[in-house]
Amino acid sequence: MIIHKNILACTAALALGAAPLTAAAQDFINILTGGTSGVYYPVGGAMSKIYTDGIPDAKTQVQATKASVENLNLLQQGKGEIGFALGDSVKFAVEGDAEAGFPQPLDKLRGISAIYPNYIQIVATKDSGIETLEDLKGKALSVGAPKSGTELNARAILEAAGMSYDDLGKVEYLPFAESVELMKNRQLDATLQSAGLGVASLKDLSTAVDIKVVAVPAEIAEKLGAPYIAETIPAETYDGQTEDVATVAVINYLVTSSDVSDDLAYQMTKLLYDNLDTLKASHAATAGMDVQNALQGMPAPLHPGAQRYYDEVGVKAE
């Protein structure tokens, strides 16, 4: 009996000793997204399911944020494992651009993958009388949260069009959903939203009031140059939008940190492309995702774990 009790005691001690090792081995993945009415959030939700199902003992969390700029700063601070960001925001972060929200270069940022383009979508209420970019002068426009990726896009578009915030009647710094609510209540003339096509906030707006999707001419994209490209918002993307509308787009990226292990970065990258159907089902914006485009214009150094996956599948940087 004494021997039996000793065995039990040893077994219990081993079990207690093993518990912290199991916890330490558990991968925690905080996915930094954006507002709940944007595209980042539902796609982040799909990623959470993919990682939970595909990585043994993984614990995932989807964090709603102010998107690109906040996500990149959180990654630098070690407060996230993977995050969404616009290409121009990543470029500014790597270089260090105080006006864009990065007083110092963020040296821990590492690339995972290009994902889909964000379309600059300027939508006005029909009642506002806004038909062109020029018509925004003297009007009330929401440009996204302060120093968000969307707001950086707004500054760039207006500057390329020979305008600034001083030309507007009023500037609101609001997330997508709040902008839409003000427009429904006739307290705001227009909103600029940098998001995937069919973003929930603008779909909601178009079902509530008559809208005008304002064109951003191709020459604006030419003037801006990379990472901006000329694109089209197809007819019927939103209720009442009967024609194609020219605009510009910026590629979105998934970014991680150098603090994330090579093995975890490898698994996060591989599982994305092993489960593209799940990702594409989360939002129409991801429909064109293709591993062959994963390294397109990557503005941050690639994480070695991601590089390992791309080497396996034969994808090379442009």
The pLDDT profile of the chain, 318 residues, written as one tens digit per residue, is 444 444 444 444 433 333 333 333 568 999 999 988 888 999 999 999 999 999 998 999 999 998 999 999 999 999 999 999 999 999 999 999 998 999 999 999 999 999 999 899 999 999 999 999 999 999 999 999 887 889 999 999 999 999 999 999 999 999 899 999 999 999 999 999 998 899 999 999 999 999 999 999 999 999 998 778 899 999 999 999 999 999 999 999 999 999 999 999 999 999 999 999 999 999 988 999 999 999 998 999 999 999 999 999 999 986
Structure tokens at 145: 């949260």
pTM of the model: 0.79
Only one residue has tokens 């429904």, namely 184
Structure confidence at residue 6 (pLDDT): 46
Structure confidence at residue 26 (pLDDT): 67
Radius of gyration (C-alpha) of the chain in whole angstroms: 22
The verdict on domain 27-116+252-313 having CATH code 3.30.360.10 is no
Determine contact, residues 205/180, Cβ cutoff 8 Å. yes
Structure tokens at 41: 């959030």
Q: How far apart are CA 34 and CA 148, in angstroms?
A: 10
- The DSSP secondary-structure symbol of 148 reads S
Structure confidence at residue 222 (pLDDT): 93
* Equal CATH topology for 27-116+252-313 and 118-250: yes
Q: What is the bridge-based pairing of β-strands 190-195 and 109-125?
A: antiparallel
Structure confidence at residue 149 (pLDDT): 86
> Where are the alpha helices (H) located in the chain, listed in sequence order?
2-25, 40-54, 68-76, 87-95, 149-160, 176-184, 200-208, 218-224, 262-274, 276-282, 304-313
Q: How many CA atoms lie within 13 A of 75 on its CB side?
A: 33
Q: How many CA atoms lie within 13 A of 163 on its CB side?
A: 18
Sorted by where each begins, the domain ranges of the chain are: 27-116+252-313, 118-250
Structure confidence at residue 183 (pLDDT): 98
The superfamily CATH assigns to domain 118-250 is Periplasmic binding protein-like II (3.40.190.10)
